[in-house]
Amino acid sequence: MALGHYQQTSLTNASTLLEGGFRIGIATAAVMFEGGSVQTVLGIGNLVSIQENIELSTTQAGNSNMPVERVASQTLTVNFELLEFWAPTFDLIRGSGLDTTGYTASTYITGTPTARSISTGGLDTLGTMAYVFENVTMVSGATAKTVLIVYKARIAQGLAFTSKTDHDTDPVMVYPFTLTAELDTSRTKGDQLFIIESELGV
């Protein structure tokens, strides 16, 4: 998928806010992203939002009114959208253990010899995956990349489709996904949840 963007003119502020879309990739391990290698590109989509979640715990001595605050839990909530209905991609995002996908003889579409399908219900394995969200912004006539890599995340919300009328000003139906990222304790402390690298401001 091309890393296109919708900017009409080049920006001039070297540390500008991100503009344009994101290429979304996925792999079974974050090492797949080192050197720009991505195992699977998920298709056309956009990163909607990220929210780092930090829960604190406190320890207070009996003769002190100043508790020591520590991080009890640190996670990341990621929301993104895809624009393409592609069953193998959906299954991959959902951990490759929740669904049954296939490219077989059609059962319910009459007159169609084969069909791509995704069915679900009854399985309960939710695997974790690594994700990369790559943005390209045009600054001073040159491209600047920003990459967010989430080391270990699993799906946190079921499939949601919002149908639109053919006469809608934007009739393309989007497919939203919500991930919850957790610490990858196999990595060095201080680098277990996510990383953002950017050429902006360099």
pLDDT tens readout for residues 57-92: 877 777 777 777 888 899 999 999 988 888 888 998
Q: Record the tokens describing residue 31, joined without a space.
A: 């090492």
Give the model's pLDDT for residue 162: 83
pTM: predicted TM-score of the whole model, two decimal places: 0.82
Give the model's pLDDT for residue 178: 96
Q: Record the tokens describing residue 4, joined without a space.
A: 């296109």
Q: Which residue has the tokens 């991959």?
A: 92
How far from each other are the two terminal CA atoms of the chain, in whole angstroms?
A: 26
Q: How confident is the model at residue 3 (pLDDT cuts 50, 70, 90)?
A: very low
Mean pLDDT of the chain: 83
- pLDDT surpasses 80 at 110: yes
Distances (CA, A) of 55 to 20, 51, 69, 72: 32, 13, 10, 6
DSSP label at residue 149: E
CA angle 52, 193, 38 (to 5 degrees): 115
How many Å is the maximal CA-CA distance in the chain? 79
- pLDDT surpasses 60 at 17: no
Q: How far apart are CA 152 and CA 73, in angstroms?
A: 15
Give the model's pLDDT for residue 2: 36
